[in-house]
Structure 1
Amino acid sequence: MAPQRILTTPSPSLNPTPPKQWHEHLTFDLFMTVLNRSILHPFIAWIIVLCLRAQATPYTHPAFLAAAGYAIFLTALNIAFIISDQIAYGAPRHVDLSEEVIVITGGASGVGRLIAQIYGLRGASVAVLDIAEEKDVKGWEDVGGVEYYRCDIGVRGEIEAVARKIQEDLGTPTVLVNCAATRINGQPLLSLSAEAFQKTIQTNLVAVFHTCQVFLPHMLSSENGGTIVNVSSVLGQLCAAGLADYSTSKAGLSALHRTLEAELRVSGNGDKVKMVLVETGQISTPLFKFIKTPNSFFAPMLEPIRVAQEIVSLIDKGESGRIRLPTYAMLINLYAALPGGLQLIARRLAGIDSAVPQVSFYTRQPGEKLKPQAE
């Protein structure tokens, strides 16, 4: 299977939408960004302390004591987070793009395509794996270093064959970005066909098992190690109505990621192979085109470039970590700790269970067979 160079001109937005009204830009994320760069930032807090001293405010004055205490608290909190990350993820690995071979599954569209373009323009060696035929991949421009391999990652034999080809064409794979995902069916469990469920699990979960098993040995044999990025979803924990197959696959993917991370750590390879888990909310890609954003203030639609930039940043730093966007995604663990009643109230306020247009819910008579809807 010969590699094919990807071509085209930069494409327009992946999912064009009408211009937003001014108030639609006001989101919880925006307010948190402003706070994190102002009153919640240690540097700003110490500036306030210095301003008070410039006014000759006595050290014993309540205003000075409050400002200094607040600055010390924020500084200590930031240091604690840094130490926590060091304990959890260890030292970063050395990253030299001239020596990296980046494999991206699902790289013909969405976030995967953006990551491929970013690294291709920076001169890295990139292998894009996707089930689409090259003639069906639109919107590409000739970017040096990016090679396209048509591959069904749900088939172990195809992955192994492509892995050998990448080794011959580009060198030892050192970075694996699992972005591939099948379309969302958005059907109630009783309406979901067994074939559709199996396909979602095969593409979103089993395929990642295959790619990790095939490419991880290459990273372990590389002098500088490697990085594995798995793109999951907050829906793996929130489990919205109408997304049984998708939520199940993403919950399994997050569990698979954490298990592999633990195995690398206990085997002494945690510093050699870095693990990045991406758990995001709704992204503005064709995959989510019919999903209604339940609450645009607390759960705004994510632009693919924002997710791609966060992934690229961690890969470049050679660090392990978690990427949770938007802001509410960072509170998922806190949500899981809430009593059941409060969880239900939160779900109703967020409108998560009405995000997927529901059809033919459970209104059938006993013994009546429900015909699965067509995919």
Structure 2
Amino acid sequence: MEAREQPMEPYPLWDDFNIDIVVKVFAHTALSPFFVFFIPVFYFFQGFRLEAPRVWMPAAYCVALSLFWFLKWYSRLYRNQGSLLFGPAPLDWGEQIIVVTGGSSGVGELVANTLAVRNVTVVVLDVKPIVTENYNIVYYKCDVSKWEEVEAVHKQIVEELGHPTILINNAGVVQGKLILDLTPEDVKQTFEVNTIAHFNTLRAFLPNMIKEKTGHIITMSSVLGLAGAAQVSDYAASKAALIALNDSLRYELDKHYAAPGVRTTLFVPGHILTPMFSRANYPSGRLYQFFFPSLHPVEVAKAVIRAIDDQHSQTVYMPFFANFAPFLRSLPSFLRDFAQWVTHADYTMKGFEKVSGRRADEQLTPSSPTEKSLDSKEK
């Protein structure tokens, strides 16, 4: 919602103190083998013997930490068929042609503009044009939920720019209705934009990546794809499908197409401060915001670019609490219900009104001057 779109304005980075910052500090101190290594060394040179608890206990902890981080590193290396001694060559950004679906607003717009600064050719596919001053952003009007339009635009892109090397599937829509209130048109739109569009763009842009044995597919899912909630049944189901799609795509590239060099990155973010969820009711209390912070679009954009630069297949959970979402189904029912209650998940969409992705048959109720001005602006 342009009139209230806070993410596009400067925000106080250092005022956003939350659990993610605490975890980051711990990761570089108490959970860092390099940092912990100096504790037993300090006590040893203070005169304590090796068998003293002050020496061997932190030393054992350092070994355990080193083993944990080694296994984590090796797992990532194994998934990407990497070398134990040599990392991938630096990505040549100037040679990349990056397609961003839904790139005219929200996270997609920020990603497109940020990539353009790196002298990358960025192709934005959206039903609305992107407003930008970057000369190397090329906009194509395209409803990615329709194969005929994707096929036609793909041919045009190849003729005018060349074959895309990176695909960022970012387009999305949410209805915010109870199951019995969803119309067939609502469900159809949700799955066409959130899920079918991914199959369309993969069908168009993936063949050349497989042929060249290189490329990168970025899939934007959601934490709701791992843990459903009230009033987002269609959205959660469509995002869950993307998680399964990403898994299947990875194994097809590795086992059937013999193209492990085509990387796949799955993003599983929590609430992002974009127009799509601007009418959701998230608690504003400091304690809630500390443990379950909303993501600024710039944080997601930076993570997307970092994932491309890493040239690794991976799954990115953000913010920190999203890492626990895969385990919710394994919890006893009373703990799962407690998690739903403490996160306010089943009530955030109460009174929700759809803003972005409205169809011609939908209208926003102009109950305030802001909404009236927004409605007239979008028309």
* TM-score, normalised with respect to structure 1: 0.85
AA aligned opposite 1:160: E
Q: Please identify, of 47-56 and 279-288, the stretch whose mean Cα deviation from structure 2 is larger.
A: 47-56
Q: Which SS does the other structure have where 1:275 is aligned?
A: strand
Aligned-pair identity in percent equals 31
CA gap of 1:340–1:374, structure 2 versus 1, over 3 A, is farther
Deviation at 1:20, TM superposition (A): 10
Q: Is the 8 A contact 2:106 2:274 kept in 1?
A: yes
Q: Is the 8 A contact 1:93 1:271 kept in 2?
A: no
AA aligned opposite 2:119: G
Partner residue, 1:155: 146
Partner residue, 1:258: 247
CA gap of 1:374–1:195, structure 2 versus 1, over 3 A, is farther
AA aligned opposite 2:220: V
Deviation at 1:156, TM superposition (A): 0.7
AA aligned opposite 2:274: T
**Equivalent residues in 2 for 1:203-218, closer than 5 Å:** 203-218=193-208
Unmatched tracts of structure 1, length 5 or more: 1-11, 360-371
Alpha-carbon distance between aligned partners in 1 of 2:12 and 2:163, rounded to the nearest angstrom: 44
Alpha-carbon distance between aligned partners in 2 of 1:225 and 1:113, rounded to the nearest angstrom: 25
After the TM superposition, which parts of structure 1 deviate over 4 Å for at least 4 consecutive aligned residues? 15-22, 372-375
Alpha-carbon distance between aligned partners in 2 of 1:289 and 1:98, rounded to the nearest angstrom: 35
Deviation at 1:270, TM superposition (A): 4.6
Deviations 1:13-59 (A, max 9, x none): 4366997996xx34222221221121111111012223223323221
Alpha-carbon distance between aligned partners in 1 of 2:319 and 2:92, rounded to the nearest angstrom: 30
Q: Which SS does the other structure have where 2:267 is aligned?
A: strand
Partner residue, 1:40: 31
1:290 aligns with 2:279: yes
Q: Which SS does the other structure have where 1:98 is aligned?
A: helix
1:229 aligns with 2:196: no
Q: Please identify, of 210-219 and 160-169, the stretch whose mean Cα deviation from structure 2 is larger.
A: 160-169
Deviations 1:159-202 (A, max 9, x none): 111111111222111100001112x2211111121111110111
Partner residue, 1:189: 179
Alpha-carbon distance between aligned partners in 2 of 1:93 and 1:101, rounded to the nearest angstrom: 19
Deviation at 1:251, TM superposition (A): 0.9
CA gap of 1:20–1:267, structure 2 versus 1, over 3 A, is closer
Q: Pairwise CA RMSD of aligned residues?
A: 2.3
1:338 aligns with 2:342: no
Deviations 1:66-86 (A, max 9, x none): 111111111111001011112
Unmatched tracts of structure 2, length 5 or more: 353-360, 365-379
Q: Which SS does the other structure have where 1:46 is aligned?
A: helix
Aligned length: 343
